[in-house]
Every structure is written in structure tokens, then in C-alpha cells.
Structure 1
Amino acid sequence: MMRKIFLGIAVLSFLFSSCEDYLEEENLSNVTGEEFYATEEGFESLVNANYSQLREIYGNEPWLFSAGTDLYAEGRDAEPPGLSRYTQLNPASEGVGHLYNTGYRAVQVANMALHFADLTEETPLLDNRVGEVKYLRANAYFLMVQTYGGVGLVTDYISNPVLQFDRNSAEEVYSFIIAELEEALNLVEEEAYAGRVNKRAVRHLLAKVYLTRGYEDFGDQSDFTTAANYADEAIAGQDLNLSFEEVWWPGNELNEEVIFSVQYDDSSVSTDPFELGHMQSSYFGPYQGGSEVAGDAPYRTYTLTPTQFAIDLYSEDDERWDATFMVEVFDRYFDYYEVEDHSTLGVSEYYAPQWESSAEDQAAYEAAHPGVTYHPYGSYVPSENPNFDYETIPVKKFDDPSAPFGESTSTRDIILSRLAETYLIAAEAYFQAGDAATGLMRLNEVRERAGVEPATMADFDIDFILDERARELLGEYQRWFDLKRTGTLVERASAHHFLVEESNFAGNNGELKILRPIPQAAMDLNQNQDFPQNPAYQ
């Protein structure tokens, strides 16, 4: 039987206040929480609170998802140095605790819902809702175990803070996640995705979890086969029918290829539209003007800007190049989305791809677009010299033309799982399971949609798979996990991030700083003196 594990007092007190504050708006009567959650309306509000936790996990700074990899580096503004460069990475580093804190908040809200599921009135949807909550709890643990290694498994609703907690092993956490997801698979609906967890979302996540566990020293070769099977079940024979641009067009976040996402809408942020939106559209590009041009250009943090390696991954025939990057910036940025005929628009900035790198190419473009600022290939990536406005290429996939100018204002859904990634999970899983031929077929489905030549068996290895994931998923909060999973973080980050050397990863006790440290705040509040920090930080 799984042992009972306790969280630290600070984390729990924050969990309770966060959950209760969220639910307070739903409970406008004078009944107690216990009475309210025992009703269909009250329990539904509790399930909705679980979905709301996704905004806390994914809607803020994405350092733990993306920083310190081969694809992104800081442009003009500094990123948290520990997470971006590894030299200063320690338990008190900026941003280290984000997934620990938000993950445990999500766990506690899930535990609360599962507690009241046994007390609330029976409804036709009760089992479905229990399955949804189990998926959300498993997702939180999956993020934490990848980031920190073994963490404390909290499976009971705890109504009072406690002063001690312990760690489960990573193997125990993975076993728990898989058991939760397999139970959820039997409970949730099969219906098409409309914002709630369904069977396809569970199968996709199960495929990702089994794939990731397969690389661990406690994993098994059969994990890769199981991952491939779950990925194929999630694909369910569906082709990639949309163009890449259609998948990412603003307002089309519930298209047929989306498997699971964090849901937003204007009404949910109306009380504070400058703080209650999310930040995804604010990253992966340069500063393009301040509030004086609000409505003409998006807010950008000028951090997590694409590296030269990321740029070089694309070829001329790859439709993802123009669909990922805003290669031509019009005088009014958002006219790209709002004006149907682009031929009459003036171009402010142009980022030349590597297949247009000659002086003749530049002269021809400048002659056709008087007044344009032309950025030659190789000049628009982060470097030792801080860049100035517009001097790195903007990623446009997450643009939100309807958002007010600001860092936390987007109300586009954050897409967490989509069909093309399921194909790439299948490709990697089949490759690792020893069936490279089938894996190559899955990968080439993604390449076919992109308009590029199919890869050959001579091309097909883990590096090619990672490159394909980079082309397809750039900016989608996957990259650090991809490199950590495949054991390529040190090699790839040090090769392609201009601020990272291989020696930056050297930690204590001869260990590499791959896992992030358990946050110092949690360590300080824990009265269990035997609680171990990750070895590289001891």
C-alpha cells in the first residue's frame, strides 16, 4: 500500500487559500463548503477549480519548460541565470520552485475533489468527472517527477497543514501516474475534444509517460512498446489534414488536431484583463514597440528568442518556416491577421532565411520594399552583444491580435497536446522499441504535412527525431523535457546555447545538474531532517 506522505506547511496553506478563494465565487449561499460540494453544482465547481489550476501551471513564466535548451536563449533582457545557464542553479534560484508549487496546488485541489466525489450526490457524469480529475492530478505529478525526480506522493485530502514530508522514489511516482491514467481511461468520455479531458487526451499522456519512463534506469524496453501502442490508439487513424498555419491561426484553438489545452476566454479574465490572461504570446520574440503602439504590435519580453540552431533547422520547402515565424513584419504587425490582401501592405522588417543569403537577394528585396529594415540571415539571433528592438526574429504561432498590450493578457488557449506530437511520440517510441521502420512512417506523416521530403532510414535516429520535434513544436513548452528525457540536455544545450558550456552542468558530488533542485523554501519548512536534496545540490 502506498504510504501517506505530507506536504510542508507553507505549500499547504497556499493551496487551501488558493482553492477556497477560487470556489468562493461559486458558493454565493450561506451553506458550508461541505454542504455545497455535496451538491451537483458544488462538485462541478470543484472540478472546474481543477481545470483552473492549469492556468497557474502553464500561464506564467515558462522558464522551467523552455530555458537553458538548444532552441532558445535570452535576447536583450536577462533570463533567470540558474535555469538559463546552469552555473548559478541552486535551490534558491529564481523560478526553480514554479512547478513544485503549482504542481502541489493542483494535487491538493484534485485530492479535495476526489474526497468529495465519495460524498457528493450521484449524477450521470460523476464517474467522468472523477476520471478528469485523476488525469489532471497525474499530469501535475508527471511535470514534477520529470523536473525534480522523486517527490512526495500526496493522495489524501489534507484539511490541516502538517510539518513534515518525505520523498517517494521516481519509480513510485511513475507507477502512480500510470495507475491514475489507466483508471482515468476507463472513466472519461470518448467524445470529441471540447475542453474537457477525454479518452484521447488520456491515451496521449499515457504514451508520453511510458515513453519517458522507458529511458529511466528503472524503465523497461516494454515501456516503449506500450507508449507506441497508446500513441497509435490516440492517433486512431486520423491524418494531419490541416495546414500548419491553420493549426495555429488565432481563434482556431479547438481545431480537429487539438487533443488537450488550457482553456481561456474573454469573460474569464474580464475582472482584470491585464493580469488574468497568460504569457505564452509574450515570449519567443523581440521588443517591437512600447505601449505607444498598442494594437499595432504585440508585447514581447525579448527572452527565449530562437537560437541560430533553431533557425537552421528549417529548409526552403518547409511550410513550418513561414507558419512559425513572422518573417515579414508589416508596418502594423497585426495587419497580417486582419487584412486579407497583403500585397498592398508596407513591410517594416524582413528576416531573410538561409536560402536568401546573397547580396543579390538583399538588394532585390530592398528594391521591392522601400524603407524596409532588412535583417540578413545569421544576424537576428541572440548573441554575446545584446540585441536592440526587432533584432531577433519573432515567433508568431502564439500571437493574439485581440489581447490588450501587456505581458499577461492573452486569452488564446494554450495547446498542450496535439495530433502531430502524438505522431512524433509514436515515432520515438517505435524507434526505441526496435521497430524503426514503423517509427519512420509515423515521423514522415508529420514531414508530409510540412511539405518536406520524407526522411530515410539512414537519417532516422534520436537526433533526427529531436530535430523534427524542434521544427514542429518550437515554443510549445516541450523542449527541456525532450532533452532531459533523451539524455541529450548537456550535449545540445552546450552546443547551441551561446551562454552554456558543458562545464556549467557540473554540480556537487560529481553529479550533473540535470534534475532541478527541490526549492529551498520547501526544504526550510520541512521538519523531517532526513529529507534528501537532489545530489547535485547537496
Structure 2
Amino acid sequence: MNKIYKISFLLFSMILISCQDYLEEDNRSNETTDFYLTTEGYNLLVNANYGFLREIYGGEPWLFAAGTDMYAEGRENEPPGLSRYTQLNSNSNGVGHLYNVCYKAIQTANMGVYYGDLTEQSPELSQQIGAIKFLRANSYFLLVQTYGDVALITDYIQERKLEFDRNSAEDVYSFIIAELEESLDMVNDDPYNGRINKRAVMDLLAKVYLTRAYEDFGSSADFTQAAEYADAAINGEELSLSFAELWTPDYTIKQGTIFSVQYDESSVSTDPFELGHRQSSYFGPYQGGSEIAGEAPYRTYTLCPTQYAIDLFTEDDDRWYTTFMTEVYDPYFAFYETDDYEGLPVQHYYEASWNDNDDFKEAYLEEHPDAVYHDYGSYVPSVNPSNDYQTIPVKKFDDPEAPFGISTNRNDIVISRLAEAYLVAAEAYLQSGDATTGLARLNEVRERAGVEDASLSDFDIDYILDERGRELLGEYHRWLDLKRTGTLVDRASMYHYLVEPGNFNGANGELKILRPIPQSALDLNQNNEFPQNPAYQ
């Protein structure tokens, strides 16, 4: 079995991470590993596995969103390698995040599986081991999509090993599927409460099969299998919760949530400026400094919606009004404090394409004479990258109770939800040759949004990507979607104002699609035959 290279991976008996209902504050760094042979100790080890989701998803989202068709930098710079591709190399800022964190999570999972065979028996043990296998599979799925061939390490390493090999992506996908199939037999079918259940496993299996189907070693049967698992995850449930209700910030697990990273006020309050997450900090303009703390959310002015993202929406699409803060009130969070906005002063208004006429603008400014009116087409980073408020804010992740800061959000980060399962099914059915059924799945999502059904003549992979853009804007899928479907180069260079097709040209005639293996990992590895990805050699 391949061995891990990171010294830090050997220290996970010390790792105890605070997470909602997952881990109490504790310090057992002087305990022996016999502690994990007890039910109490093993529970904490399981919770540490869940806790790593915060490290994977809770920080900077560059590897999920930067350098795509939907988001571009405004006043502040994103890591240029990940955003523009021209400076992308093994030392580039941000390229190692998933590589390092996912392998830490994998070693913790390996530890959980190892002690699962040794610890005290309990009614929850099978469920716990199944959840750990899911989390290990999820980490490997992120790694193989991002970096291609990676080292498969499934043993709990208890001594220092600094030499390892790369396994083929085909082998990694086979392992992920086998791992998830084992997990499916072990976890329960309870409603989702933050713990992995059968629905979450089936949903991830659908995504894995869908993604593998596009690979050289994939097959059309993978599309069929993806459709079957997606339908099993949907399980006949309709999208009964409105889009607005779905994103109301009441800090609860919403109906239709399949898999999420859990946060709550009690866990974040011990360090409110570090233990929250950053999702709401991106996707919009800076709106003021600490002097107005509590009156406006922190925004980094990075990952601002592009004109393509804005143009995805039509007037009858409910998602437009929930996704964007088209009217910024004074103060900003007054939006969440009342249902009657008539008397609230408007600071900024962002004009939609369907209101792009002089009559509407004149009438609006007459009613709101103190508002700054941003004409349609003027509030995207390619046009106005430099000044405050000059791009449209994304509000769907707002936490109105959070203190002013970059890492303070306490909403759960939703990784998978019912509407996305419908879109996975739509794509899988389309690619398996059953466009009629795929279209029906997609139109379920459009019906909830209040827009008219798409037709078979519209229905292709570009339409699916557009629909995913409307439904999932700001959620951590876009780079993976474009990479999976082979559309990254075309779409990023078409819609991202700082990306041209030539930016993707790498070494050896290869395109910079896969990210480079981080140089720090290569330097630690004593296997001199371990190859870098070809575009970066």
C-alpha cells in the first residue's frame, strides 16, 4: 500500500476540532491511542472526520470557483494562477489547498477505519464507519478531479513515511465507487440531520459516475448508473420549498439538503472571527470598513458575478431576486428585519436587463432620489472593477447576525441539495441518450423557479450548464462542472474578461486543466520518479 509523505499526517490522535454536535472542546494530546478503543474516544474521532469538512470548504474557495465563466475579480486580486491560468504552476498561491487538506482528512479517515475494527461495539458503530468511508471517498473525489492521478492511501500510517507513488485516476475512481458502495450498506436511511445517510451516499455516487463517464476510461454505462443513483437520491421528492425559503438565513437544515458543512452560533462564538466560514465574504463588492460593522456584510471584491452570470436570469425567474441584493437599503441588513420596504432608504439600485430603459430609471430615481442607480451592464467587474459598490452583491449566503469579518458566517455550507440532484439526473439522462427524461428532470427545477419549461430543442450540455449557473450561483461547483464537461477553456475564455484561450497553454503541448501537484508535496516526497502533471513539467 502506498505511504503518506506528510509528517503532520501522523499526528491525528491530537486533532480535536470544534463542530456543531460533532466535537466538544477537549484536549487529549497526552492520551494514548487506547482512548479510541472506547466509545467516547471513537465518537470524538468520528467527529474529527466531520470537522475536516470545515477546512475543505470553509476557507478560500478559489479551487471551486476562480477562473470560470461566472466569476471574476473586481477591486481585489484573486490568486492569478487560479484566476487567469497564465501564472499557474506548482508554487502558485492556492493550488495546494485541497491537496493538503484532503490528505489530512484522508489520514484521519484511515485512522477512523483502523480503530473501527478495534473499538468497543456500539449501536452506532456501523453508521459511523460508513460515514467515515463516505468522507474519505469525498476527499478522494475532490483530489482526482482537481489533480488527476493521486496517491491512494488507505492504511493508517503510524510511522513517518516520506515516499509514495501516484495511482491512476481510473484506479482512484474504482476505489471511490467501492468505498461508497460499502458506505451505502452501512449508513442509515434517517432524514438528513448533518450526519451522512443513504441519500447522501447515493447522491455522491451519482456525481462520481457522472464525472467518470467523461473520462477516457469511462463509458456510457456510467451515465446510466449516474441517472439511476440520482433518481434514487431524489426518491420522488418534489421541490416544495421555494428558492427564497431555501436561502432564508435561519441557521436550520433546510428541506432538500442532502449534504452540508455544519455550523452553529455556539461553536462559532468561542472565536467568532475565525471559526465561521467565508462563503458570504465572496461574490460581491466591498461595502464599507469596520466603522460600519454590523451595518453591511464583509465582501472581498473577488469572485464577482460576470456579465454572463447576470444575463442567465429573466424577469420571471424567482432566483434573481433571492440570489442578488438588487436594492441595497440603509442599513444593508434592514432587508432581513422587515417585510415592508416602502419606508427604507435605498442606497444603491442595480438595474435588471428587463428594466433597461429611460422611463423606468426616471421613475425609480423620482421615488428614490438619494439612491445610486447602477445601469444594466455597468456593475460587472470587467466594466467597473475598482470602486466600492460597483458590482452587484450576492445575498443568498448572508448571515445578518454575524459580526463584521471575513470568517464569521454561521449558515451551513450546502454541498449537495435536491435541486442539484435533479440537475445531475438531467445531465446523466441526456448523455445516456434519454433526453426526454433528462429534460423532465431539468424542468422540475425551472418550475420551482417560476420560469417556463425548456424544450427539447434547447436541451443540451450548454443549457444544463446555464441552468446550473442560475440555480447554484456561488455554490462550490462551477470549476468542477466545467472541468467535468470539457468546457472550461471555451467558457472561461469566452466570459471571463481576464482569460484568453492561450492562457491555458502549458508545457509539452498540454492544456492547464488539471491543477499542478504542489511543489511542497514534491519536495517532501523521496520518490524521485513521482511525476508532475504534464502541463507543468
Alignment match, 2:109: 110
Supply the AA of the counterpart residue of 2:403: P
Q: CA deviation at 1:387?
A: 2.4
5+ residue gaps, structure 2: 18-22
- For the structure 1 residues 156 and 149, does the alpha-carbon distance in structure 2 shift closer, same or farther, using more than 3 Å as the test? same
Match for residue 418 of structure 1? 417
What secondary structure does 1:343 align onto?
Answer: coil
Match of 1:241 in 2: 240
Distance 2:98 2:30 in 1: 34
Q: Which amino acid aligns with 2:3?
A: F
- Are the aligned partners of 1:247 and 1:253 in contact in 2 as well (CA < 8 Å)? no
1:381-530 aligned within 5 A: 381-383=380-382, 386-530=385-529
3-state SS, counterpart of residue 93 of structure 1: coil
Does 1:22 find its partner at 2:11? no
- Number of residues of Structure 1 aligned to a counterpart in Structure 2: 532
Q: CA deviation at 1:383?
A: 1.5
**Does the aligned pair in 1 maintain the 2:16–2:26 contact within 8 Å?**
no
Q: Which amino acid aligns with 1:460?
A: F
TM-score with structure 1 setting the length: 0.97
Residue 141 of structure 2: aligned partner: 142
Are the aligned partners of 2:10 and 2:157 in contact in 1 as well (CA < 8 Å)? no
What is the CA distance between 1:377 and its match in structure 2?
A: 0.1
Larger displacement relative to structure 2 (340-349 or 317-326): 340-349
Deviations 1:31-76 (A, max 9, x none): 8332211111100000000000000000000000000000000010
Aligned to 1:195: 194
Whether contact under 8 Å (2:10, 2:160) holds in the other structure is no
* 2:313 counterpart of 1:319: no
1:404, CA displacement in angstroms? 0.8
For residues 147-162 of structure 1, the aligned pairs below 5 Å read 147-162=146-161
Runs of 4 or more above 4 Å deviation: 23-31
**3-state SS of the aligned residue for 2:328?**
strand
Q: Partners in 2 of 1:270 and 1:402 — Cα distance?
A: 12
Query: Which position in structure 2 is the counterpart of 1:77?
Result: 76
Equivalent in the alignment of 1:5: 2
State the match for 1:45 in structure 2: 44
Cα contact 1:288–1:299 (8 A) shared by 2: yes
- What is the letter of the counterpart of residue 95 of structure 1? G
- Give 1:385 deviation, angstroms: 5.5
Q: Give the C-alpha shift of residue 18 in structure 1.
A: 5.8
The aligned residue for residue 231 of structure 1 is 230
Residue 19 and residue 347 in structure 1: after superposition, are their counterparts in 2 closer, same or farther (change >3 A)?
Answer: farther
| Distance in 2, Cα, partners of 1:121 & 1:482 | 42
Q: Which amino acid aligns with 1:197?
A: I
Q: 1:26 deviation in Å?
A: 5.9
454-463 or 378-387, which moves further after superposition? Answer: 378-387
1:260-295 Cα distance to aligned partner (Å, 9 max, x none): 100011221233111111100100000011111111
Contact 1:27/1:36 (<8 A) preserved:
no
> What is the SS of the residue equivalent to 2:280?
helix
Aligned-residue offset at 1:221 = 0.5
- One-letter amino acid matched to 1:485: R
What is the distance in 2 between the residues matched to 1:385 and 1:463? 28
Alignment of 1:197-216 (within 5 A): 197-216=196-215
Question: Is residue 253–residue 415 contact of structure 1 (8 Å, CA) maintained in 2?
Answer: no
Q: Residues 46, 375 of structure 1: CA spacing in aligned structure 2 closer, same or farther, 3 A cutoff?
A: same
Q: Normalising by structure 2, what TM-score? A: 0.97
Q: Distance in 2 between matches of 1:45 and 1:156?
A: 20
Q: Structure 1: which 5+ residue stretches go unaligned?
A: none
- For 2:240 and 2:383, locate their aligned partners in 1 and report how far apart those are by CA, in whole Å: 42
In the superposition, relative to structure 1, how do residues 50 and 348 fare at CA in structure 2: closer, same or farther (>3 Å)? same
**How far does the alpha carbon of each residue in 1:386-412 deviate from its partner, in whole angstroms, 9 at most, with x for none?**
321100000001001111100011111
Alignment partners' CA distance in 2, 1:532 and 1:448: 48
2:20 aligns with none
d(CA) in 2 for partners of 1:391 and 1:43? Answer: 50
Deviation of residue 179 (structure 1)? 0.4
C-alpha separation in 2, matches of 1:225 and 1:30: 48
Identity percentage over the alignment? Answer: 65
- CA shift for structure 1 position 19: 5.5
Q: What are the Cα deviations for residues 175-221 of structure 1, in whole angstroms up to 9, with x where unaligned?
A: 00000001100000101000100000001000000000000000010
SS in structure 2 at match of 1:228: helix
Distance in 2, Cα, partners of 1:144 & 1:465: 24
Determine the C-alpha separation between the residues in 2 that align with 1:454 and 1:407: 39
